[in-house]
Structure 1
Amino acid sequence: MELELFRVDYNIVGITSKSCLKLLPYTKIGEQQKVVVADNEGILQVFAVKKEDIQLQFKTLPGHKITSVQLSGEPGTMSDKIFISSENEVRGFTKKGKLFLSFDSNMTEPITSMYVLGNDLFLCGKHTYNHYKDCKDIGSYLCGDCIVDVIALHINKTHRLVALIACEGRMIRALEHARVTLSMEVESSPTVLHIYEDNDTKLVIFGTVDGRIGLLDIEKTQSFNKWIIQDNRFSSAISCIDSYKMVQNEHQNIIVGRQDGNIEVYSINLGDNETSALLHTTNCNESVTSLCCGIVGEANYDEILVATYTGRIFGLTTQTVERNITTDSKNYYFTTESAQKIVKLKNEVEELQMRVGKEREKYQASTHSYMEEMSAIPLLSIRDSMVQSKQDASYVLTLEVPTAIDNVLLQSNVPVDLLDVEKNSAVVSFSEAEPHNGNFLLATYRCQVNTNRLELKIRTIEGQYGTLQAYVTPIIQPKCCQVRQFEIKPLSMHFRVHSIEKKRPYNLLAIKGLFSLAEIHSWVFQCIPEVPEKPQFVDTTTTLFFQSTFLGTHLECNFQKGEAKFASDNISTISIIREFLTKETTKKKIKIDISIVVNDDSINHILKLIDPKLQSHAKLSKEVLLLDALHELGVNDTETVQALSTKYQVLLEKEKELRAEFSNQPAYLDRLYGIITDLYIDYYKFKGVSVKSRIPKLLTILDNYDYKNLLLFFRPDFEMLD
């Protein structure tokens, strides 16, 4: 079943944040609803749409950035009171614009997320959670993880008030009276929480950074239930969720907004094994910050109202928009009303163009004058993120600017590979890198016209850590550039998990010394991704588990004041941690004792993990070389192809797929060779033997790869052990 929606643009506001858009409830079914929207310039406005014209109800003066908008009301009444948060303050407005609440929360950090339920107010900063009732503080909680969203609800059976906070450390925590009563582990970092209400059921769903939507079971199993929207490919992060009956069905639909601009409508049946079906998808080419469903443009027509990062407010309506336009012999005929609106819009555009021209001339004249006037560089807000993609062991780097991007220069002081991205239409050119000057990568992306969002993919090398810098140049006058820095950590290809296999052959690293809990936690934070910024516990041992996206190896970290233990089935991981911690402790002149236990069986285990990757990509490389050779021989016409053997004919038929796969994994075979070489050097380094002179022989064995020969080269005594 397909759902057809039509786009209608309504308004443009300033740059917006998450949860910036709401619809005031209607008094009778089918009537149009008023729109509440707030932006980063501190302006809150409420408007209605009457006969396709915007009618402004009220608008506040500019101020501090508004981070969240929520609607609520007294228990048992309509939720028509507007609450906004900015800095440490919460203000409340009636639907007519009267200020009835100005509350200073006295929080130690700015408010990033907010939820209002009756007389209860829930405010979260980056690490702090506060619960207020009737503007009185009744409890707070300090979280080591970064908090990204908060919601609250009454449990159906017990009617207890429970607040849920989504944390970056792949955890959703439930709090009662500001105490954590439940910690639910999820596979991916959550980005947004939503209460799904349908047919007297109340469920909690959440979106993740890799584009999935999961269901929580708070009452029965008190844990993660299942994925209801899942894609095997890496999808863009989910920024907002709403539930609404867009089609006549038994259950409400789930509407999803993503950071890559996709807006998707799903039908779901939570009691069925079939999780979801996609009904509609559209892309607006900008990050979606907020969406909500209701009736906006025309009475009795359902609509998805969307706010984008740059401040565009538009609707996706079920009403057919092109109803007043007909064509005849390539000429358009409009109704009188439509013709008048077109003339009015043309006049407005001409007037704006004249005003812009005058202001530009005035500005140019001021920059050339001999007075003390000077050219001002505009402050542009750049939205950036670097998210790990587990599917292809890479990082997705996203840069978004409110105006069009001219070019982006990437510079890295460590070796990284750039991968192809389908969505990326920019032209890339490489400059000659100078590793001796700390430049391993210099690449320039020249963007197409009106591109304000750029997505890149990079692959890092573990053990090589440093900084990746992106110089973003927008198309504005005067010319300016902003720099964004992204840290590449020593174990950059690892991600956090909640448990690991205990039966694997682990190598052990133990460190003891006069270091504090804060120091060892800081070192682990600098070494491995997805480590909480602050330690969760003070007196007990902190235990964290990680997995490698490239090889699937595991890592366990246990640390406390004066002591740290690391266990991994990859000896190279242990070597990287040891080198990094030794360097950091030397900087601070802290004396430490290091002990290492090497498990010889871990070598067999790692080589067995690499074996299928090595075989498949070695085969792919040979097939691409054969294709190049066939084309050099001029095997292009049908007659010559038919004269070839079946093997080569099949190879030529699959050429497009093979070359696409090969180009998507540049230097993959070299990467595997590098991992095996490092493994060999690290293994014998811990045994006190230098084997650099034997590396050429190792590479020869890899070129004529055989698992048994490679294992015997690593462990010549293995047959005696067998």
Structure 2
Amino acid sequence: MELELSRIDYTLVGITSTNCLKLLPPSVSKEPQKVAVADNDGILQIFSIKKEDIQLHFKTLPGPKISSLQLGGAIGSPTDKIFVAAENEVKGYTKKGKLFLTFDSGMTETVTSMLVLLHLKNEKICGRFVLGNDLFLCGKHIYNHYRDCKDVGSYLCGDRIVDVIAFYADKTRRLMSLIACEGRMIRALEHARVTLSMEVESAPTLLHILEEDSTKTILFGTVDGRVGILDVEKYQSTTPVLVQISYWFVSARQHGFDRWLIDASNASTISCLDAYDMTGNGTKNLIVGRQDGTIEAYIINVADKMDASILIYSHVSDNKKREPTPFFKRVFAMIKIIATLTFLLQNCNESVSSLQCGVVGTQGFDEILVVTYTGRVFGLTTEAVDKNVGGDSTVGNYIFSQETSTKISRLKGDIEDLQVKVGKEREKYQSSTQSFFEELSAIPLLSIKDSFVLSKETATYILTMEVPTAIDNILLQSNVPVDLLDVEKNSAVVSYSDSDRSVGNFLLATYRCQINTNRLEIKIRTIEGQHGVLQAYVTPLVQPKCSRLQQYEIKPLSLHYRIYKFDESRIFNTLTIKGTFSLAEIHTWLSQCLPEVPEKPQISENTELYFESTLLGTILQGTYQKGEAFFKSDNVSTISILKEFLTKEATKKKIKIEISSSINDESINHVIKLIEPKLVKQKMISNNVTLLDALNELEVNDEESLGYLSGKYKDLLVNEKGLRAEFQEQPDYLDRLYGIVSDLYVDYNKFKGCNVKSKLVRLREILDEYSYDALILFFRPDLAK
């Protein structure tokens, strides 16, 4: 079953954040709904669509950036009250634009997510919406709970909070709230106390409550494009809170996380979710919005674990699939001004900020209403938009009524007036730049939405940059060795420039973007042990010419990510550091060395963190307090990198430290066993590609020549496309593995006080003729005795 939807563009607002779009409830079923949308200019506006025209009901004046928009209402009345959060203040408006609430939360952080709950008589609630007198506000690290605008509890989280939801538990009838944290943790709170900590495999981006048939299902989206289900209430009990915290923190992976509802691993980040019956069969579909502009609809079954989700619709926001409104289609056919109305036809490959399902454009037709990062509001409707209008005026293949022809004429006149005004302003600006007087050329404010996320599957970083206007080029510069890999979605042309490595300039590359590109995705491969800064100079297509600098830190152990369970059965190497450093200093050093370290250390006697390597699967444990730090890892190179970095940082601060280490020789065998499958696989891929190149040089492509080949070579030619694609996905991956083994050999002998760089040539020869036993004997010659 497939869902057929047509795109209709409505309007353009300012730059938007997540949770910035809502549909007001209709007074009659299937009646067109009003739209509430807020932007970063602080403007809240309510509009509706009537006969393909925008009917604006009210619009506020500009102000501070609006970070969240929710709906609410009194008991027994429609949820048509509008609540917006800007900085640390919450305001409430009626649907007619009357301000009825202004609440200063007193928070020291800007509000990033908001939720208000209504106490219903039967103590059941629809969770995700703003509904009444319980207000939940979250900043970067602070969670606050207000009741009747009075503070009743707060929680300080070490991780960054990305979203919050609340609901009444069906079993206990107690008010629970969930906060999604950037460190791959979702925490359940009661009375502002953590009662359950649930680890998930990927960092969550949002929380959503799916209600159907009087049951609630808690969903969460992740940065790697998956949607999971949480089962919170199943594991809630009447045991004391402290006991629950201890138990659930240890077994979070098994308890709380249920399963993946949509397992599209390595896809684009989930930015918004909604549940709505788009197919009309009485069952809600899951609507997903992603950071790369993709909008998807799924048939789901949350009750049956064996029933897989089915993708029934996918929309990519680009000019090939864009459908203008019927009215504008007729305008284009008549007056041929496509170039003038570029905002309707330019490439809209941009992230989705928010989406809601309902009836918007035409009565009786369901629709997915979407707003993008740059403020484009459009709908994906079940109504067929390709229809003619009967009348007495004809242009091309379209038939127009007199009223439509009048609208077209009026629109044509407006466009001509705008062209004249733009031309005059352009001439005025050009003359002012050539004036002898002290004229000022103002540089426009350039807002950039970016992310620098580690992909566990490929052990690479995904750098995403999005700009409200078209990008001319992006210049990348790095003072550490990094590799740029191809991305299928990336249509920009990359060119490399010679760089002087003697002054620490290892990368200088320029991405020249195609016309109307405002979002670029780049895959970057880092090398552990090398740390520095990656700089991106973003130059948009605006006048006067300007560029904005974005910096991204490359950390020494950049390919590690935080975990919450530690395998004590492995063979470990240890590192102990003692000195006069404070808890804040050692915590800062670790945050500069490892990704995903919380901004604040744990408030306890010892702070303990666990990490795992995305490339090798080796693990690291760090336990530290004031004046002492202890680390253990099954990888000698990890211990060596930590030792070198922490020593440099202590030397910078002139802090005297004592370092002791213990290296277990058996850990070498363990790490090589972890590398071996990757090494063997990449050697096979590399050899197969070399054979394919040789076969292509011999021009073995006709049937007669193929008949003389062995089955092995025939299979290679049959699977050539897949083999080359796999090789191109990670070019030079075999050399990368060789480098890891070489670093392991050097670090292992460094702890023994030996300089073995002269033996690396022999090590390369052993790797070329790979044998596990020969490699172990080369690392540990004592075993041959």
**Pairwise same-fold verdict (TM > 0.5):** yes
Q: Structure 1 residue aligned with 2:639, among 565, 570, 574?
A: 574
Question: Is it true that 1:216 corresponds to 2:230 in the alignment?
Answer: yes
Tell me the matched-pair count: 718
Q: Structure 2 residue aligned with 1:225, among 250, 257, 261?
A: 257
Q: Corresponding residue for 2:57?
A: 57
Distance 1:338 1:599 in 2: 82
Give TM-score scaled by structure 2 length. 0.89
Aligned in 2, Cα 1:718/1:339: closer, same or farther, shift over 3 Å?
farther
Q: Structure 2 residue aligned with 1:282, among 315, 321, 339?
A: 315
Deviation string for 1:143-185 (max 9, x for gaps)?
1111111122122233222221111011111222222222222
* Kept after mapping to 2: 8 A contact 1:192/1:239: yes
Deviation string for 1:263-308 (max 9, x for gaps)?
1111111111224111111011210001111111111211111010
User: Which range is displaced more, 657-666 or 389-398?
Assistant: 657-666
Deviation string for 1:607-642 (max 9, x for gaps)?
111111111111222222222233334445544343
One-letter amino acid of the counterpart of residue 140, structure 1: S
Question: Is it true that 1:549 corresponds to 2:614 in the alignment?
Answer: yes
Q: CA deviation at 1:333?
A: 3.7
Aligned in 2, Cα 1:207/1:519: closer, same or farther, shift over 3 Å?
same
* Kept after mapping to 1: 8 A contact 2:463/2:524: yes
How does 1:235-634 map onto structure 2 within 5 Å?
Answer: 235-272=267-304, 273-284=306-317, 285-324=349-388, 331-537=397-603, 539-634=604-699
Distance 1:551 1:334 in 2: 66
User: Which range is displaced more, 338-347 or 22-31?
Assistant: 338-347
Q: CA deviation at 1:75?
A: 3.3
Q: Corresponding residue for 2:252?
A: none
User: Which range is displaced more, 446-455 or 629-638?
Assistant: 629-638
SS in structure 2 at match of 1:324: coil
* Kept after mapping to 2: 8 A contact 1:413/1:439: yes
Distance 2:424 2:396 in 1: 37
SS in structure 2 at match of 1:458: strand
Distance 2:83 2:231 in 1: 29
Distance 1:244 1:491 in 2: 43
Deviation string for 1:419-475 (max 9, x for gaps)?
111101111111112211211111111111111110110110000011111111111
Distance 1:329 1:706 in 2: 76
Q: CA deviation at 1:341?
A: 4.1
Q: Corresponding residue for 1:68?
A: 68
SS in structure 2 at match of 1:30: coil
* Kept after mapping to 2: 8 A contact 1:210/1:234: yes
Q: CA deviation at 1:369?
A: 1.9
Distance 2:372 2:654 in 1: 50
Distance 1:283 1:567 in 2: 46
One-letter amino acid of the counterpart of residue 6, structure 2: F
Structure 2 unaligned blocks of 5 or more: 118-131, 237-254, 318-348
Deviation string for 1:34-83 (max 9, x for gaps)?
10001111111000111111100000111111111111122343211111
Q: Corresponding residue for 2:42?
A: 42
* Kept after mapping to 2: 8 A contact 1:143/1:536: no
Deviation string for 1:516-539 (max 9, x for gaps)?
1111111111111111111122x3
How does 1:650-669 map onto structure 2 within 5 Å?
Answer: 650-669=715-734
Question: Is it true that 1:131 corresponds to 2:195 in the alignment?
Answer: no
One-letter amino acid of the counterpart of residue 633, structure 2: S
* Kept after mapping to 2: 8 A contact 1:205/1:214: yes
Question: Is it true that 1:18 corresponds to 2:83 in the alignment?
Answer: no
Q: CA deviation at 1:702?
A: 1.2
* Kept after mapping to 2: 8 A contact 1:227/1:275: no
Structure 1 unaligned blocks of 5 or more: none
User: Which range is displaced more, 196-205 or 625-634?
Assistant: 625-634
One-letter amino acid of the counterpart of residue 310, structure 2: A
Distance 1:287 1:421 in 2: 17
Distance 1:225 1:678 in 2: 38
Q: Corresponding residue for 1:164?
A: 178
Deviation string for 1:289-332 (max 9, x for gaps)?
01111111111211111010000011111111112279x99844
Distance 1:435 1:234 in 2: 33
Q: CA deviation at 1:362?
A: 1.6
Over aligned residue pairs, what C-alpha RMSD do you find? 1.8
Distance 1:352 1:155 in 2: 57
SS in structure 2 at match of 1:322: coil
SS in structure 1 at match of 2:234: coil
Distance 1:329 1:352 in 2: 24
Which stretches of structure 1, 4 residues or longer, exceed 6 Å deviation after superposition? none
One-letter amino acid of the counterpart of residue 283, structure 1: V
Q: CA deviation at 1:339?
A: 4.3
SS in structure 2 at match of 1:717: helix
Distance 2:191 2:486 in 1: 49
Aligned in 2, Cα 1:559/1:380: closer, same or farther, shift over 3 Å?
same
* Kept after mapping to 2: 8 A contact 1:228/1:276: no
* Kept after mapping to 1: 8 A contact 2:261/2:302: no
Kindly, what percent of the aligned residue pairs are identical?
Answer: 65
* Kept after mapping to 1: 8 A contact 2:226/2:264: no
One-letter amino acid of the counterpart of residue 121, structure 1: L
Distance 2:54 2:395 in 1: 34
User: Which range is displaced more, 185-194 or 221-230?
Assistant: 221-230
Q: Structure 1 residue aligned with 2:266, among 230, 234, 243?
A: 234
Distance 1:588 1:257 in 2: 47
Distance 2:382 2:407 in 1: 22
Distance 1:162 1:44 in 2: 30
Distance 2:528 2:58 in 1: 55
Deviation string for 1:557-596 (max 9, x for gaps)?
1112222111111110011011111111111111112121
Deviation string for 1:506-555 (max 9, x for gaps)?
11111122211111111111111111111122x32122111111111111
User: Which range is displaced more, 640-649 or 678-687?
Assistant: 640-649
Distance 1:530 1:263 in 2: 29
Q: Structure 1 residue aligned with 2:218, among 204, 215, 223?
A: 204
One-letter amino acid of the counterpart of residue 19, structure 2: S
Distance 1:422 1:325 in 2: 42
SS in structure 2 at match of 1:321: coil
Distance 1:646 1:330 in 2: 60
Distance 2:728 2:396 in 1: 45
* Kept after mapping to 1: 8 A contact 2:199/2:257: no
